[in-house]
Structure 1
Amino acid sequence: MKSLGIDIGTTSICVAVYESENETLPFVTSRKNSFISEKFEQDPELIIDNVMEMLLEAKTNGYGEDILDAIGVSSQMHGILYINKEGEAVSPFYTWKDEKGKKLKEDGKSYEAYLQEVTGLSMFSGYGTVTHYFLGENGLIPHVAYRMVNIGDYVAMRLTGRKSPLIDESIAASFGGYQIETEDFAWDILKNAGVKTEYYPEISHSGKPFGFYKGVPVSCALGDNQASFYCVMDRPEEQININVGTGSQVVIYDKRNIYKERIEVRPYLKKGSLYVGASINGGKVYERLAAFFEEIIYEFTGMKINAFEKMSFIGAEKTASSLLINPSLYGSRLNKSEYAKIENLTADNFHPSDFIRAYVRGMAEELFQLYMDFPKEIREGRREIIASGNGIRKNRLMAEEIEKKFDMRLRFSDIEEEAAAGAAKAALDLLVQ
């Protein structure tokens, strides 16, 4: 059987065809995704245009709707856009990187801090509920807006022609203000905090199709975290998933819901929960280091280079370094004042090789500390790391340092486009088999 997966990532959009018999991807294509100007916003119609173009490319290559059994969608989580009653986008897509929630209210508190304090719920700037609250408080919700959805939901709506949104719990939970126990939003708590809850979409609690694209059943959009995890994990009770993309995450599965401060617990396809330690520092901070070296070379020589490949060789010159670097260039959700720092810099370790090795080790250290915050009882029995995401797949130094820090074997899945493949596989399992 064959299914097609569409993944709307922060920096790229991917379409992949999944064959269930041999678990391979015979067709993959992608397009760049980009922000509007300097804002952390994206154009939903441009995304739709790219998706339609890639579906046509898939059909031209022999993977049209006539041979597909299902279509799945996965999406970068947390973000929102507004639609009108006709199911049309009436706003940009405010992504998970949106920083409106960090702005200050008249009383000097940030919007995210206010919601955390008043609701007692875990949500941060970039989460849909925080962005929605800011826009509502400042009169910035479009007057024709009817509901808010994630970009993956909007793609599913446009594919199927559906006008009323219906979202999977993985997306609902990513907004903030969702409670796993009740499988619904904390309506009273959100209303009492001043959140305009009338814009929230309906949550799907069934495996029925969201709709049909040219006769092919389309599933509700999944969060990319859940989709990727579903693709790569073959023994989830024994494994750890580390995903490094634009941001980074360490994820483990358990059937139980054990809550602990600092840890996010996400619903997982009615199978249990995913415990997630998420960092806003991931592959993007390594890109910034590469850009730093490229800028130095250009300033001194006028030459433009690509530093990535050379950095890997230079960093490999040192297997260890006394230099300590915390590369949190984009801060921390849990500690608003924590940013990158360098310690123990000496004449002996003042070299590019030390800097690169220490920098990557710091990235691994952050993920390990997030993992150690998980409840002890669900960390027990973990024997292997499954790595995913281009931020680690294309950075062998990162893989080395994670193996050392976690003291576990690390391996990559055979499938590279994990989120698109996971969405396709889940759609097949949920809608067909």
Structure 2
Amino acid sequence: MKTAGIDIGTTTISGVVLEKEENGQAKILEAKTVENGCFIETGNEWERIQYAKEIVERAVNLLDYFLEKYPHVERIGLTGQMHGIVYVDKEGNCVSPLYTWQDARGSICDGDQIPLTEEIRERCQIHAASGYGLVTHIYNIRHNLVPDSALSFCTIMDYFGMYLTGRKKTLVHVSNAASFGFFDSHKMCFEKEKLAEMGVDVNWLPDVCTGIEKLGTYRGRTVTTAIGDNQASFLGAAGDEENILLVNMGTGGQISVLSSQYFSGDGIEARPFLNRKYLLVGASLCGGKAYALLEQFFRKIVKEATGQEQPLYKVMEKMARTGRDQNSERTESRKIKVETTFDGTRVNPEKSGSITQICSENFTPEDFCYGVLKGMSTELYQMYMTIQKGIGIKIRRMIGSGNGLRKNPVLCEIIEDMFKAELVLAECEEEAATGAAMSSSMYNYSNSTR
């Protein structure tokens, strides 16, 4: 059976076509990525929104390309950026931009008032970060930003599924529902009483399913419910085995472990997966972005000195390796220490980064390159230790994904040293799209509840 998967990311839209072989393994026939590039300039530094209809148009074009080239595709699976929302009307039409996961309206201080995220923590004892769909929705309610014709909301990939199938009513997989916030992942339901306390009409909440369901058809192919990109990436890179650690480094950083046990701790979320399992996740807001900031810093100096501007990542890789070698001979107190929480953390959005233990010996670009890479790794390692102490999990394999790892061998080595395990890069680069295609094959009509 051939299946197609589409991943609507923040900066790119990717797709794959898989073919299931006789041994049960999935073979990638083709993968393709196009630019998203749909951000809207609003003049508000805190606002991160995108043209939803343009995103869907690009995703449709990519899917049509695959269906024309591979006419025997039977099913279409979907995934994409979690947390963010679009509003839909009674006909299932999108009536708003996409409010992305990067949107910071929940962290704004209006006059003397505390940020909305803090108010939610105090009133509801719920941690919901800015960018989570229901935080965005509450802010929009209070500031009269909800479109008059809107009746519900969903993720961009859920709306894509509605668009493809002509579906009018929202249906989201539990992996996406949980990403909105105000969701009890243990009981698999929204916290409706607390939402009502915050002024949300619970009739607006989308329907939620715990299994892979059929949304409808597109060009004669079954389209299944979208799953979160974190879950899809894990499925595409590691399958559905427990005790495998997935380390992802993109703009942000992330560690994920599949477990049948529910566990949440400081900075750790238990995200619903498939088959009623949980993905225990720790996420840094400034993963690969921290290294990109350092590259921009160096690039500005080079431009001022030479008048030339060009990428410096290759030079930085060489310097990072030198810095790693130099630090191997130093005591801990003589090593530069970088905390790469430059954009805060999920738990503490106001937290800033830091560079400490600087001395004349380590005040070098080589040490800064190495220090930032180690700082990125340390933040993820601390999250892993929280999980390890919580459930005593023993990792059998460690898999790496994301361009931050694929393009930075020094970072891979640092992670291997820190986690004391071999890091094997995922076979396919489009893990999320691959996972989406795999999820569509899990739909079983005979077991469907719809």
Output the TM-score relative to the length of structure 1: 0.95
Q: 1:431, CA displacement in angstroms?
A: 4.5
1:34-45 paired onto structure 2 within 5 Å: 34=37, 35-37=39-41, 39-45=47-53
Of 38, 41, 49, the match for 2:57: 49
Pick aligned residue for 1:389 from 388, 402, 419:
402
Q: In structure 2, what is the Cα distance between the partners aligned to 1:235 and 1:222? A: 14
1:4 and 2:8 matched: no
Partner deviation per Cα, 1:304-325 (whole Å, 9 max, x = no partner) = 1111222112211222531111
**Matched residue, 1:329:** 342
CA, structure 1 residues 270+105, in 2 after alignment: closer, same or farther (shift >3 Å)? farther
Match of 1:285 in 2: 290
> Are the structure 2 counterparts of residues 54 and 234 from structure 1 closer, same or farther at C-alpha, using a change threshold of 3 Å?
closer
Are the structure 2 counterparts of residues 332 and 207 from structure 1 closer, same or farther at C-alpha, using a change threshold of 3 Å?
A: closer
Deviation track 1:132-182 (CA, whole Å, cap 9, x = no partner) reads 110011111111111111001011111111111100000000000111233
8 A contact 1:236–1:252 mirrored in 2 = no
Name the counterpart of 2:252. Answer: 247
Q: Give matches, 1:34-433, under 5 Å.
A: 34=37, 35-37=39-41, 39-60=47-68, 62-63=69-70, 66-105=71-110, 108-234=113-239, 236-320=241-325, 321=327, 322-374=335-387, 376-431=389-444
Amino acid at match of 2:282: G
Give the distance between the partners of 1:234 and 1:84, measured in 2 at CA.
Answer: 36
Distance in 1 (CA, whole Å) between partners of 2:20 and 2:314 is 35
Q: Kindly provide the amino acid, as one letter, of the partner of residue 16 in structure 1.
A: V
SS of 2:280 mapped into structure 1 = strand
Contact 1:242–1:386, Cα closer than 8 Å, also in 2: yes
Task: Give the Å deviation of 1:196.
Answer: 3.3
Q: Whole-Å Cα distance in 2 between the matches of residues 42 and 113 of structure 1?
A: 26
Unaligned runs of 5+ in 2: 328-334
Q: CA deviation at 1:349?
A: 1.4
- Evaluate the alpha carbon distance shift between residue 193 and residue 300 of structure 1 in structure 2; reply closer, same or farther with a 3 A threshold: same
Contact 1:111–1:130 (CA<8 Å) still a contact in 2? yes
Encode CA deviations 1:249-269: one digit per residue, 9 max, x unaligned.
Answer: 111111111343432111111
Q: Residue 29 in 1 paired to residue 37 in 2?
A: no
Of 103-112 and 415-424, the range deviating more from structure 2: 103-112
Q: Give matches, 1:12-23, under 5 Å.
A: 12-21=12-21, 22-23=25-26
Q: Taking structure 1 as reference, are residues 343 and 260 closer, same or farther at Cα in structure 2, changes over 3 Å only?
A: closer
Give the SS at the match of 1:162. Answer: coil
Counterparts of 2:420 and 2:237, CA distance in 1: 20
SS of equivalent residue, structure 2 residue 443: helix
CA contact under 8 A between 1:156 and 1:221: conserved in structure 2?
yes
- Contact residue 219 and residue 431 of structure 1 kept, 8 A: no
Contact 2:128 2:182 in 1 (8 A): yes
Distance 2:369 2:111 in 1: 43
Deviation string 1:254-313 (CA, Å, 9 cap, x unpaired) is 111134343211111124111111111122222222222222111111101111222112
Secondary structure in 1 matching 2:318: helix
Whether contact under 8 Å (1:231, 1:419) holds in the other structure is yes
CA distance in 2 between counterparts of 1:25 and 1:354 reads 40
The residue identity in structure 1 corresponding to 2:300 is E
Structure 2 CA distance, aligned partners of 1:43 and 1:416?
A: 26
Instruction: For residue 104 of structure 1, report the CA deviation from its aligned partner.
Output: 2.4
Separation in structure 2 between the aligned mates of residue 183 and residue 277 of structure 1, nearest angstrom? 20
Alpha-carbon separation, structure 1, partners of 2:92 and 2:208? 16
Q: Share of identical aligned residues, percent? A: 35
* Alignment check: 8 A CA contact 2:246 2:399 kept: yes
RMSD after superposition: 1.8
What is the Cα deviation at residue 432 of structure 1? Answer: 7.5
Residues 163 and 194 of structure 1, relative CA distance in 2, 3 Å threshold: same
How far is the alpha carbon of 1:68 from its aligned partner?
0.6
Match of 2:331 in 1: none
Q: CA deviation at 1:236?
A: 3.1
Query: Counterpart in 1 of 2:332?
Result: none
- Alpha-carbon deviation of 1:107? 5.4
Deviates more, 1:83-92 or 1:330-339: 330-339
Residue identity opposite 2:26 in structure 1? E
Matching residue's letter, 1:133: I
8 Å CA contact 1:105–1:111 kept in 2: the answer is no
SS in 2 for 1:69: strand
**CA–CA separation in structure 2 for the residues paired with 1:344 and 1:408:** 28
Q: 1:105 Cα deviation (Å)?
A: 4.6
